[in-house]
Amino acid sequence: MNLKEQIDILLPLKTELYKKDFLLTWEKSESDLRMILGVAQILKDMRNQNISPKVFDSGLAISQFRDNSTRTRFSFSSAANLLGLEIQDLDEGKSQIAHGETVRETANMISFLADFIGIRDDMFLGEGNKYMREVGQALDNGFAEGVLPRRPGIINLQCDIDHPTQSMADLLHLKNEFGSLENLKGKKIVMSWAYSPSYGKPLSVPQGIIGLMSRFGMNIELAYPEGYELIPEVVGLAKKQATISGGSFRISHSMKEAVKDADIVYPKSWAPFHIMQQRTKLLQKNDRAGLDALEKTCLAQNAQHKDWEYNEEKMKLTRNSDALYMHCLPADISGISCTEGEVAGEVFEKYRIKTYLEAGYKPYIIAAMMFTQQFESPLKVLQNILEKKNPRIKY
């Protein structure tokens, strides 16, 4: 479809994205999600066709990463730049936060000329999403009291519960791989734990996947060794959503059994829910000895499940022996990035380019979240951009 046709398809959607933070996918309606996917694709196609979607002449997008990041950090910066915003990183080590500056004060001080704040806070179970909401409340107060000329929107760049920019990028990848969202109905996706030589990986990616894909009629199989459970409330939500959407939800404790006849396989390590609870308490106390002891225990536990590697033997059990492999990256690749890991080297290499394409949707998803927060009628703005066709690169 051309750009005009893509815009026209989205016109009937009724959304509530304007001036709303994006913190959890399951807080958004299906129309909201479809709009973001559609706008992301349009922005991607505009850039590919050398049309500039720059809608800001000035302003800041603030990034606050409380954990390390490559893909999401650069995706946020790329998205801000695509729309015309400058990026400014909030480095807590260079701020007054270490000197006792409150969340309320920090949120207002960084926001005088800011339009968006992207936050990654996935280290502390029960705290990351809570922190984002605390920032939001501070911004509401600053705007209401006339301190801020406008209230910046917040985008969750990964928290302890969800990783919405990742799961939405994954969904757009699936939409394009299978032709439409409707074609995803009835498809079997396996979200599987996989062995990793490290510990403490957040729960937010697997939870984001089951929390989003269950909205679109997919048959979800969540696979993990016994003891590697996710947050119970998120699992319960995914089960409910799967039933409502006409899909299904099943838990398995065998990767080999789970991947049989799968259309999509997503092997990704995570730390067990109860371990993340312990880890959070130790981190909050800054108990280094306790953290070291917990890490040794968890690594020994992980080592008992080295057979949870996605390899050619398991790939052959999938539908047509060729299920779409997905990963948020970086993957622990056996024989390449580690001795033994989540996925065999030959399997990863087969799907490597597709995982790069999967990751490539994230800047546009973030840009679409910004775009739909900024404009009450985003499709009219897109139509105006299309009519003007200002070139991004001026020859």
Token digits of residue 356: 């790069």
Kindly state whether residue 187 falls inside one of the protein's structural domains: yes
Q: Are residues 367 and 291 in the same domain?
A: no
Q: Are residues 132 and 222 in the same domain?
A: no
Q: Are residues 25 and 107 in the same domain?
A: yes
Q: Are residues 313 and 345 in the same domain?
A: yes
Segment-wise mean pLDDT, segments of 10 residues, the chain, 395 residues: 97 98 98 98 98 97 92 97 96 73 93 97 93 97 98 98 98 98 98 94 97 98 98 98 98 98 98 93 92 94 97 98 97 97 98 98 98 98 97 89
Residue 14 sits in a domain whose CATH number is 3.40.50.1370
Which amino acid would we find at residue 289?
A: A
Number of folded domains in the chain?
A: 2
Kindly state whether residue 65 falls inside one of the protein's structural domains: yes
Tokens 């998120």 belong to 234
Q: Are residues 302 and 367 in the same domain?
A: no
Q: What is the structure's pLDDT at 272?
A: 95
Kindly state whether residue 393 falls inside one of the protein's structural domains: no
CA proximity to 39, closest of 394, 387, 366? 366
Q: Are residues 244 and 380 in the same domain?
A: no
| Cα–Cα distance for residue pair 95/213, rounded to 1 Å | 39
Inter-residue contact 218 to 186 (CB < 8 Å): yes
Overall pTM > 0.85: yes
Q: What is the structure's pLDDT at 393?
A: 94
User: DSSP alpha helices (H): ranges in the chain?
Assistant: 3-10, 30-48, 71-83, 103-109, 128-144, 164-178, 204-213, 232-245, 255-258, 273-285, 288-303, 312-315, 345-359, 362-374, 378-388
Q: Are residues 346 and 367 in the same domain?
A: no
Q: What is the structure's pLDDT at 98?
A: 66
Kindly state whether residue 114 falls inside one of the protein's structural domains: yes
Kindly state whether residue 269 falls inside one of the protein's structural domains: yes
| Predicted confidence (pLDDT) per residue in 257-300, tens digit | 999 999 999 999 999 999 999 999 998 899 999 999 999 999 99
Q: Are residues 266 and 350 in the same domain?
A: yes
| Cα–Cα distance for residue pair 391/395, rounded to 1 Å | 9
Kindly state whether residue 394 falls inside one of the protein's structural domains: no
Residue span of the structural domain in which 27 resides = 3-162+362-388
CA proximity to 22, closest of 12, 38, 33? 33
Q: Are residues 97 and 238 in the same domain?
A: no
Q: Are residues 312 and 339 in the same domain?
A: yes
